[in-house]
Amino acid sequence: MRIVVLAGGIGGARFLRGLKAAAPDAEITVIGNTGDDIHLFGLKVCPDLDTVMYTLGGGIHEEQGWGRADESFTVKEELAAYGVGPEWFGLGDRDFATHIVRTQMIDAGYPLSAVTEALCARWRPGVRLIPMSDDRVETHVVIDTPEEGRKAVHFQEYWVRLHASVPAQAILPVGAETAKPAPGVLQAIGEADLVLFPPSNPVVSIGTILAVPGIRAAIAEAGVPVVGLSPIIGGAPVRGMADKVLAAVGVESTAAAVAAHYGSGLLDGWLVDTSDAAAVAEVEAAGIRCRAVPLLMTDVEAAAAMAREALELAEEVR
Amino acid sequence: MRIVVLAGGIGGARFLRGLKAAAPDAEITVIGNTGDDIHLFGLKVCPDLDTVMYTLGGGIHEEQGWGRADESFTVKEELAAYGVGPEWFGLGDRDFATHIVRTQMIDAGYPLSAVTEALCARWRPGVRLIPMSDDRVETHVVIDTPEEGRKAVHFQEYWVRLHASVPAQAILPVGAETAKPAPGVLQAIGEADLVLFPPSNPVVSIGTILAVPGIRAAIAEAGVPVVGLSPIIGGAPVRGMADKVLAAVGVESTAAAVAAHYGSGLLDGWLVDTSDAAAVAEVEAAGIRCRAVPLLMTDVEAAAAMAREALELAEEVR
């Protein structure tokens, strides 16, 4: 079975670990979000790709969900001693090495997809991890500030520095309209037996991937089941601040509203949490098969159970 | 008193610490060798500038003479886990931060001299440290290999990886002939009250600085005392493998031969070690005032005593 998964960071990575446990023989291709990539200290940082790679490769900081286990912060402290920031982005020493290798390869002319493959040669994530695009796409968030009025900031500045503490007026995937899917992306979708949307952020993670011209259409026209899992439980995001960016695109923070945002033209099946069982009828009325199952990824087994539910729902709608 | 010092790495840095102690009120300008700069992991590394900066700024690894105190090697270990080398060059985590800041500034368009000034804003070395040139000069060493015949390798590969274990056939300061002295270099020489050559390597450190067009002539024509200290004691280099690169330029590893290599057109005074007292007459016969004094920089006080001897000799030849 060939499965394509569109993934953001922590939620996508943890779901993928469950999926690997639930379908050990499946060929899994992960199309990773690169919209929150950022250049820091002259280095190219790909937070979502790295979270997937570290999580599936056994190098992740488990409690935190991102970054490396047993991490130290000597380089960052030294950079701060030089007065060089930003200090709000937590790059550890082990993590720095990844960005140094990536930047060196990109400067040598390799596309991000080839670099990602090279990094994965170390981590052996057990999936094929492809960035959504080799072209630069950068998610910007429009906010209103007392000092400077309305302005756009990098997604990481909004998310990590500001903790999404001010309303997002708009989400701009800058560069997306001219970006091309990375080599292998459309082919993987075309050859997939099913496509899964993990409980990743529907706007700045999966939404950004779908904003790369060709990807949404390829999924919609693949003729295979497309099943998603709600990142919203009981009217609130499971982690992160997805409600803030959903509001920016006019979508309520409910499991049903997110399903409707993807739409029945894209989604065939949708899993909501048992606490959102009341939403099932509404989602099904919109033409998307829906089931209520436990959606909290408390551990790998819980994530695997969710993956099994998604696979079953996919067979049901096939 | 304005003093200009041409400096390589460890020997130059330790002498400078003594000079600061011996002449606390002097305005010291250090013209640093950049011929052994190297790009590693996509980062610009300037070993000699950093050794001067760390030594005078209190961050040096004292026993080792280069690199940072309390250093860790997490980044390097992680790079090795990615299969990315070279492993033979010992870049520590603290040191990496320096190279990251430097590379980021250079990529942003700042010349090395401005970058060095910015880095020194943290270290406050108590001297003005200027790279010999903002242009790229790279010392290559020609060696004979059983596998590939005669070839040129980067100085660091010869020095650090090969430990100068094979004879150097030639020393090539690649790019030197078209390099321009960095801003401030010629002016500092023109305004100096004296010029000192510390016991740095006469070929690959001071020789490389002198190979930048304009610098040798400016010193020769400055009309102020030029005094050097022998890096050769009792027929052997105090540290490093200076004899190997001296042989490549046809110079014997003796205190007198090094003085003659600089020549009376450049040098006015020369200090040899007490164990080389027999060389004094030979050096003076070549037109260079010479004294035998203890030249082992066992500690800061010993280096300060050497600096005082150099300052006295400068007054004697003025």
Q: Could B104 and A72 be called an inter-chain contact, meaning their C-beta atoms sit closer than 8 Å?
A: no
Q: For residue range B125-144, what is the model confidence (pLDDT) as tens digits?
A: 999 999 999 999 999 999 99
Interface probe with B: pick from A44, A101, A120, most Cβ of B within 10 Å: A101
Contacts of A42 in chain B (CB under 8 A): 100, 103-104, 107
Would you call B286 helix, strand, or coil by DSSP? Answer: coil
> Which DSSP letter does residue B160 get?
I
Contacts of B42 in chain A (CB under 8 A): 100, 103-104, 107
- Check residue B99 and give its pLDDT: 98
Whole-number CA gyration radius for chain B: 19
Question: Any idea of the CA torsion for A69, A75, A81, A86, to the nearest 10 degrees?
Answer: -70
Domain B1-135+178-318: which CATH class? alpha beta
**Chain A 16-55, residues with CB within 8 Å of chain B CB atoms:** 41-43
Mean of the pLDDT values across residues B147-156?
95
- State whether residue A122 sits within 8 Å of chain B by CB: yes
Select A38-125's CATH number: 3.30.70.2190, 1.10.3720.10, 3.40.50.360, 1.10.8.240: 1.10.8.240
**DSSP per position, A185-224:** HHHHHHH-SEEEE-SS-TTTTHHHHHTSTTHHHHHHTS-S
Q: What's the rounded Cα separation, in Å, for the pair A184 and A169?
A: 34
Q: For residue range A171-207, what is the model confidence (pLDDT) as tens digits?
A: 999 999 999 999 999 999 999 999 999 999 999 999 9
Contacts of B121 in chain A (CB under 8 A): 83
Interface probe with A: pick from B39, B76, B93, B117, most Cβ of A within 10 Å: B93
Interface probe with A: pick from B44, B70, B82, B116, most Cβ of A within 10 Å: B82
- State whether residue B315 sits within 8 Å of chain A by CB: no
ipTM above 0.90, yes or no: yes
Q: Which residues pair with A7 in a beta bridge?
A: A32
Closest C-alpha to A243, from A260, A231, A227: A231
CA distance A159 to chain B (A): 24
Smallest Cβ–Cβ distance between A42 and the set B79, B94, B100 belongs to B100
pLDDT band at B304 (very low <50, low <70, confident <90, very high): very high
Q: Which of A40-49, A110-119, A235-244, A265-274 has the lowest mean pLDDT?
A: A235-244
Question: Which segments of A265-315 are extended strands (E)?
Answer: 269-272, 289-292
Contacts of B118 in chain A (CB under 8 A): 82
Question: Which segments of chain A are extended strands (E)?
Answer: 2-7, 27-32, 38-40, 43-45, 128-131, 138-145, 149-154, 170-174, 194-197, 226-229, 232-233, 236-237, 269-272, 289-292
Residue partners of B148: CB distance under 8 A and separation at least 6: none
Q: For residue range B206-251, what is the model confidence (pLDDT) as tens digits?
A: 999 999 999 999 999 999 999 999 999 998 888 778 889 999 999 9
Closest C-alpha to B30, from B148, B116, B144: B116
- State whether residue A58 sits within 8 Å of chain B by CB: no
Size of chain A in residues: 318
Smallest Cβ–Cβ distance between B42 and the set A96, A104, A122 belongs to A104
**DSSP per position, B66-118:** SSBTT---HHHHHHHHTT---SSS---HHHHHHHHHHHHHHHTT--HHHHHHH
Q: For residue range B160-176, what is the model confidence (pLDDT) as tens digits?
A: 999 999 999 999 999 99
Mean of the pLDDT values across residues A11-28?
98
Look over chain A and give the mean of its residue pLDDT values, rounded to a whole number: 96
- State whether residue B94 sits within 8 Å of chain A by CB: yes
Handedness of CA B157, B158, B162, B163 (dihedral sign): negative
Q: What's the rounded Cα separation, in Å, for the pair B191 and B12?
A: 21
> Quick check: A239 pLDDT over 80?
no
Segments making up each domain of chain A, as ranges: 2-33+178-317, 38-125, 138-173
Question: Greatest CA separation found in chain B?
Answer: 59
> Quick check: A149 pLDDT over 90?
yes
Closest C-alpha to A245, from A169, A177, A173: A169
Amino acid at B204: V
Q: What is the share, in percent, of chain B residues with pLDDT greater than 70? A: 100
E strand or H helix at B196: strand B194-197
Q: At what angle do helices B74-81 and A93-107 cross, to 10 degrees?
A: 50
Question: Residues A218-235, buried b or exposed e (16+ Cβ, 10 A)?
Answer: bbbebebbbbbbbbbbee
Q: Could B122 and A83 be called an inter-chain contact, meaning their C-beta atoms sit closer than 8 Å?
A: yes
Mean of the pLDDT values across residues B53-65?
96
- Check residue A240 and give its pLDDT: 74
CA distance A161 to chain B (A): 21
Smallest Cβ–Cβ distance between B94 and the set A78, A96, A121 belongs to A78
Q: At what angle do helices A10-22 and A300-317 cross, to 10 degrees?
A: 70
Look over chain B and give the mean of its residue pLDDT values, rounded to a whole number: 96
Q: What's the rounded Cα separation, in Å, for the pair B145 and B143?
A: 6
> Quick check: A284 pLDDT over 80?
yes
Mean of the pLDDT values across residues A77-88?
94
With contact defined as beta carbons under 8 Å apart, do B196 and B166 qualify? Answer: no
Q: For residue range A156-166, what is the model confidence (pLDDT) as tens digits?
A: 999 999 999 99
CB pairs under 8 A between A and B: 85
Q: Reply yes or no on domain A2-33+178-317 having CATH 3.40.50.10680.
A: yes
